Chains A and B, each alone.
Chain A
Amino acid sequence: MSIEIKNISKNFGSTCALDSVSLTFEENKIYGLLGRNGAGKTTLLNIITNRIFADSGEVLVDGIPSKENDQALKKIYMMGEKNFYPNNMKIKEIFRWTKEFYPSFDTEYANKLTEVFELSLNKNVKSLSTGYNSIFKVIIALSVNTPYVLCDEPVLGLDANHRDLFYRLLIERYSDSPSTFIISTHLIEEVANVIEDVIIIKKGKIIKNESREELMSIGYTVSGMSSLVDEFINGKEVIGIDSIGGLKSAYVIGQIIKESVPQGLEITKMDLQKLFIKLTNA
């Protein structure tokens, strides 16, 4: 049970959006699909869901080619950054139609979430702010109960409280009834604690596809007094430094034996965002 992407390529005119991308999204995992603007994240998600077609390659959903195949596509729900719902449609009507197309959609749970997010069911799409436009789609994504849920920038326009609420609900939902969630986002720091596997896409190519733990184990963060940190990192591969007053945190690539660390310094996990910047900047 998986979404298998085989040698997908896609060009828009002279721009190569995806270049022979191959990867597998396994069952019941939360993936972070990370990449800079224009890296090809949305293109990849759009191809998986048949919103656009690849120039070459194929996508298999549970072994079935997904191109123009209702049986395969029915297993996927995509919450896109753009709105595909009719502007004049009320939220309650959208829920009703989602239930028609996805019979496993949990209307009761969705209604409960509208209360939690303080979203009126009688509002129509065009009257919603950017944040609430994301919220109603997030609610559907959390209630749809399909094996694969794709979220493209799910927290776009959401305030800190709603973002926190979304991540908590996602974990809660995932624990209750696991599905595969693929979250494409720019807010790496926030999503870092939610995702299990990380896929980093750069200029249409997959440059990292591994578990978060594996990825973060390629380095560490060392924190302490500036002078001590400077002395410690001398000669090491440092990918970023944060300083506040006399304190400093340095993000270092490489392995370390904690016992060998001088007193006054603290070793913690690598910061995913710093690593992402390092990997995608070059």
Chain B
Amino acid sequence: MMNIKAATKYQLNEYIKSVRIFYLVVILVTLFFGGIVNFGDSSNVNMMGGTEMSTAIFLFVLGLNSFKETFLMMLQNSTTRKTMFVSRLIAVLATGVSMAIIDRFIISFAKLFTYVNENYQVSGMYEMVFQNRAESLHTVIMNLEAILITIGVYIAAIIAGYFITTAYYRMNKILKVAVSVGVPVTLFFLLPIIDMSVYDGKISRAIGKLFAFVFGGESGNPYNLLISCLLFSVVGIGLSWLLIRKAVEKN
């Protein structure tokens, strides 16, 4: 893998450009709303708690947009699929870790506003989902655990986007249409009908249980979420590799 350094640098550079814009917006929004709360005379409670969720959505979209152009650029520069895939994973890992740390820093920074104005409340995704556990831990431990869990979520989000875009690249037009129509129709139309009419709601209850387990179950264990995200990522990485190893130029 002679090109691994150049390929990783290129793919990281690609991510950094988008991440920079994203954080510029996040910081401006944080400062703007922080400013309104501080200097406005509103007595309403203002809550800021979607930073990690918006980052996860951003990373999913980033994953969705990170195949075709890079793939062709790598082919142009005589890089094997193996090298481009490994370098992509390095870039995904680095981006996931960095953004989890940055987000935690932003949340901690935004929390400073709460000392100035009690009407301003800041909470990270971790504190919202695992409230009891977050309150029982020392702040430093809680922040470290939050970063760890967030890394898992972020990596899963990018991998999900990357897998979808890779799968679409490999599909022909008919298959693309079939999947684009078939998946939503099955999930949001057929499945609920079958579930209610044939299985008496067993499927939705099973899905509900699965989600409850992923999000910690009754004990509220955050490591269920971390392990679920890692498993999801491993499966996504495996499937993406199967798709990429035989991918050819379709420019």
Contact = CB atoms under 8 A, between A and B. Distances in A.
Contacts of B81: 68
Interface residues of A, number: 26
Interface in B164-199: none
B6 A100 contact: yes
A76 interface: yes
A49 B72 contact: no
B83 interface: yes
Contact of B248 (A53, A69, A73, A83): A53
A84 B249 contact: yes
B78 A76 contact: yes
Interface in A81-132: 82-86, 97-98, 100-102
Nearest to B6: A100
A101 B75 CA distance: 11
B249 A51 contact: yes
A102 B75 contact: no
Given A68-B82, A70-B1, A98 B248 contact: no
Contacts of A51: 75, 248-249
A49 B78 contact: yes
A20 interface: no
Interface in B27-63: none
Q: Classify the interface of chain A: helix, strand, loop or mixed.
A: loop
A138 to B, nearest CB: 14
A53 B9 CA distance: 27
B58 to A, nearest CB: 19
A73 to B, nearest CB: 4
B69 A74 contact: no
Interface in B1-44: 1-3, 6-7, 9-10
A273 interface: no
Interface string B218-229: 000000000000
B123 interface: no
Contact of B83 (A70, A78, A98): A70
B169 to A, nearest CB: 14
Contacts of B79: 70, 73, 101
Contacts of A97: 6, 10, 73, 77
Given A68-B80, A73-B79, A100-B10, A82 B1 contact: no
Given A52-B248, A53-B248, A73-B80, A84 B2 contact: no
B76 interface: yes
Contact of A101 (B1, B6, B69, B249): B6
A226 interface: no
A136 interface: no
Contact of A70 (B10, B80, B246, B248): B80
B80 A84 contact: no
A98 B249 CA distance: 19
Contacts of B3: 70, 74, 101
Contacts of B69: 86
A71 interface: yes
A77 B249 CA distance: 16
A98 B9 CA distance: 12
Given A68-B81, A70-B80, A74-B3, A84 B10 contact: no
B251 interface: yes
A46 interface: yes
A84 B9 contact: no
Nearest to A77: B78
B75 A74 contact: no
A104 B78 CA distance: 14
Interface in B231-251: 246, 248-249, 251
Interface in B93-126: none
Among A84, A97, A101, find the residue whose CB has the most chain B CB atoms closer than 10 A.
Answer: A101
A46 B249 contact: yes
Contact of B78 (A46, A53, A86, A101): A101
B75 A84 contact: yes
A261 to B, nearest CB: 52
Nearest to B69: A86
Contacts of A80: 76
Nearest to B7: A101
Contacts of A84: 72-73, 75-76, 249, 251
Interface of A: 46, 49-53, 68-71, 73-74, 76-78, 80, 82-86, 97-98, 100-102
21 contacts: A52-B249, A53-B246, A68-B80, A68-B82, A70-B2, A70-B79, A70-B80, A73-B79, A73-B80, A76-B78, A77-B78, A78-B78, A83-B251, A84-B76, A85-B72, A85-B73, A85-B76, A97-B10, A100-B6, A100-B9, A101-B78
Given A84-B251, A86-B69, 5 more contacts: A73-B79, A78-B78, A82-B249, A85-B76, A98-B77
